[in-house]
Amino acid sequence: MSTYFTKDHEWLLVEGDVATVGITDFAQSQLGDVVYVELPESGKNVAQNDEVAVVESVKAASEVYAPVDGEIVEGNELLVDEPAKVNEEPEGAAWFFKIKLGNTTQLEELMSEADYKAFVETL
Amino acid sequence: MAEAADLLQTPLFDLHNELGAKMVPFAGYQMPVQYPLGVLKEHLFTRESAGLFDVSHMGQAWLVGPDHETTARALEALVPSNMKELKPGKQRYTVLLNDYGNITDDLMVSRPLAAEDDGRLMLVVNAACKDNDYKIIAAALPDNVKLEIVEDRALLALQGPKAAEVMALHAPEAAQMGFMEARPLEFDGISVIASRSGYTGEDGYEISIPAGAAEAVAKALLADERVQAIGLGARDSLRLEAGLCLYGHDIDENTTPVEGNITFCMQKRRKEAGDFPGGARVLKQLAEGTNTIRVGLKLEGRAPAREGAEIRVPGTQEVIGRVTSGGFAPTLGAPIAMGYVPSNLAEIGTELELVVRGRALAAKVSAMPFVAQRYYRKPK
């Protein structure tokens, strides 16, 4: 089990061949109060960098991208009823979707937690 | 994006930073979009208690003529409202029109209370429009009426159901003011000009303050636990719920007051005479209606439709209009929008769809304001 991060401020928790994906605490702090989340449908095949989910604050909509190729296994229905969870537990209960990894070599291009922290410092 | 160094600061810039505001470029100024409380809570706090907004980026100016009638007539040449009969101590909303009757800006005009100020009208115009407005106004004035641009005053808005009780602690005479009244006040000994009006749908005041005293006034208000600093983010969601237009979005140089559905700013004498720029066209629209008109829209579900979203008739692919402002209404816990639709589809309850990321969302034409206005009306 290991955690990866992207430059689009997503985190992936990989367990076996499935990754749980969410947005980082930094991302939610930039977005502000989340009022709506749109999730991908289960069974959908996506490619890395495809727009797969949307998160909306009072002011604006932002896309969430697929961090890797794969098949969407599940969306987090909790966020449909309680979008504010994204602000409260972005790196825990408020995960966005689970994706079955289509190409595990893509993980090697992602950042470790330490690298991501360093990246955020540069912003 | 403009560099911070090119951007102007309001007299409250240091205070915004002290309060932890997130600053963004807006209309050439560095402005607070939100404070640590966040847009949602700032919005709800204003509806429940009182919010303090820095709107010093807006343009303040005086029209100065020999007497009220002369100054009012000069302004009436540019706007479709009755300025001549505006009483001392009263404020009025109006629009600057171009020769096609389209809207160049919207503004507030107030006539001072004191007899010695006869012939003066105070204008408050949009920040992004002010330079152009001043050019247009100055060029149109007769020789005996002058435009005096005010550069040394801040403008604060205190808005919400508790605004009046907090304001009265510092300026007792504010309590006697009715909605859309304006007058000078002593605020803790500081001379200010206040109007009982605003841009949230709530009771409250806009307070014009000498720049050097603005921080003292803001801090005195913020020291009260009933008051929080509120950013531009919540200002936008509050005014949208109140059904109020944002210039450059909901009304602009492609819309007349009739299309914009703001004919309340045109009083009887002006509507009959049509003696303002674009008057013939506007009168024709008043008599015959317009092709399109601004309406309110309530969406089903939770997904907001933003500015630019296409409006369609359900079951068709034909785009009949576009959303001009849209977002999530915190007070309602639901998405709302404004947009232009053909006038025959403007009836309350008409079912439409708004296209968001390729998906059609069900919406209905809704009455505005979306959230009831709570302006203070003086007992007769």
Closest residue in chain A to residue B43, using alpha carbons only:
A58
Please provide the average confidence, as pLDDT, over all residues in chain B: 97
| Element spanning B17, H or E | helix B13-18
Considering only CA atoms, which of B234, B238, B33, B251 is closest in space to residue B129?
B251
- Residue A4: count of CB within 10 angstroms of its CB: 23
Report the alpha-carbon angle B6-B11-B12, nearest 5. Answer: 100
Neighbour tally for B131: CB within 10 Å: 13
Can you list the alpha helix ranges (DSSP code H) found in chain B? 13-18, 39-48, 68-76, 130-140, 163-170, 211-222, 232-241, 268-273, 279-288
Contact B40 A38 (CB under 8 A): no
How confident is the model at residue A18, as a pLDDT? 97
Is A113 within 8 Å of chain B by CB?
no
Q: For tokens 């977002």, what's the residue?
A: B327
Q: How far is A77 from chain B (nearest CA, A)?
A: 14
Q: Which of B22, B328, B332 should one mutate to test binding to chain A, selecting the residue with the greatest count of A CBs within 10 A?
A: B328
**Structure tokens given for B253:** 């140089």
- Bridge partners for B60 per DSSP: B124, B150
Task: Select from A54, A58, A80 the Cβ nearest to the Cβ of B330.
Answer: A58
- pLDDT per residue as tens digits for the range B162-189: 999 999 999 999 999 999 999 999 999 9
CB atoms within 10 A of CB A64: 23
The predicted-structure confidence for B214-269, as pLDDT tens digits, reads as follows 999 999 999 999 999 999 999 999 999 999 999 999 999 999 999 999 999 999 99
Mean local confidence (pLDDT), B360-364: 97
- pLDDT of res. A75: 97
List pLDDT tens digits, range B279-319.
999 999 999 999 999 999 999 999 999 999 999 999 999 99
Report the alpha-carbon distance of residue B233 to residue B238 in Å, rounded.
Answer: 9
Whether residue B306 and residue A36 make contact (CB cut-off 8 A), yes or no, is: no
Largest CA distance in chain A: 38
Q: How far is CA B280 from CA A90, B67, B100, B101, B276, in A?
A: 58, 29, 9, 8, 9
Residues of chain A with C-beta less than 8 angstroms from the C-beta of B357: 38, 54
- Per-residue pLDDT, A123: 87
Q: What is the mean pLDDT of residues B148-167?
A: 98
Q: What pLDDT is attached to residue B91?
A: 98
Q: Give the residue among B259, B276, B171 at the shortest CA–CA distance from B213.
A: B171
> A86 — contact with chain B (CB < 8 Å)?
no
Contact yes or no for A36 and B335 at CB 8 A: yes
Taking the CA of residue B94 and the nearest CA in chain A, the distance in Å comes to 27
- Chain A, nearest residue to B326 by Cα: A59
d(CA B85, CA B371): 31
Distance CA A101, CA B353 (A): 37
pLDDT digits (tens, 9 = 90+) for A54-66: 999 988 899 999 9
DSSP B21: -
pLDDT at residue B3 in the model: 62
Quote the pLDDT of residue B239: 98
Residues linked to residue A2 through DSSP beta bridges, in sequence order:
A14
Q: Is the pLDDT of residue B1 over 70?
A: no
- Please indicate whether, in this complex, the C-beta atoms of A36 and B330 are within 8 angstroms of each other: no
Give the SS3 label for residue A90.
coil
Residue by residue, DSSP assigns B183-244 as: EEEEETTEEEEEES--SSSSSEEEEEEEHHHHHHHHHHHHTSTTEEE--HHHHHHHHHHTT-
In contact, B208 and B194? CB cutoff 8 Å: yes
Distance CA B199, CA B19 (A): 23
By C-alpha distance, the chain B residue nearest A34 is B40
Q: For B17-32, what is the mean pLDDT?
A: 97
Cβ contact, residue pair B39, A83, below 8 Å: no
Res A88 pLDDT > 80: yes
pLDDT score at B55:
98
Q: What is the pLDDT of residue B5?
A: 73
The CA distance from B3 to B5, in Å, is 5
Q: Which residues of B touch A33 (CB under 8 A)?
A: 38-41
Instruction: At A50, give phi and psi (nearest 5°).
Output: -65, 145
What are the beta bridge partners of residue B210? B153
Sheet strands side by side (includes A34-38): A34-38, A51-57, A61-65
- B50-100, pLDDT tens digit by residue? 999 999 999 999 999 999 999 999 999 999 999 999 999 999 999 999 999
Say what the pLDDT of residue B380 is. Answer: 76
Sign of the dihedral through C-alpha B154, B159, B164, B170:
negative
A115–chain B nearest CA distance, Å: 26
Interstrand relation of B227-229 and B50-54 (parallel, antiparallel or unpaired) = parallel
What CA–CA distance (Å, rounded) separates A62 from A5?
18
At A60 the pLDDT is 86
Where is the binding site for substrate, in residues of B? 206
* CATH H superfamily, domain B4-57+152-241: Probable tRNA modification gtpase trme; domain 1 (3.30.1360.120)
Q: What does the pLDDT read at residue A59?
A: 80
DSSP conformational letter for A66: -
Annotated binding site of B: 206
Average pLDDT score over residue span A94-117: 96
DSSP structural state of residue B277? T
Percent of chain A having pLDDT more than 70? 99
User: Of B184, B181, B206, B176, which Cα lies nearest the Cα of B379?
Assistant: B176
Query: Where is B60: in which H helix or E strand?
Result: strand B59-64
Strand partners, B355: B310, B360
Q: Which fold has domain A2-113?
A: OB fold (Dihydrolipoamide Acetyltransferase, E2P) (2.40.50)
B335 secondary structure, DSSP code: E
Interface contact B303-A58, CB threshold 8 A: no
Q: Which fold has domain B291-380?
A: Elongation Factor Tu (Ef-tu); domain 3 (2.40.30)
User: Quick one: pLDDT band at residue B4, thresholds 50, 70, 90?
Assistant: low
Q: Which two tokens stand for residue B100?
A: 């096609």
Among chain B residues, the shortest Cα distance to A51 is held by B357
What is the mean pLDDT of the segment spanning B312-327? Answer: 96
Q: Closest residue of A to B301, CA-based?
A: A36
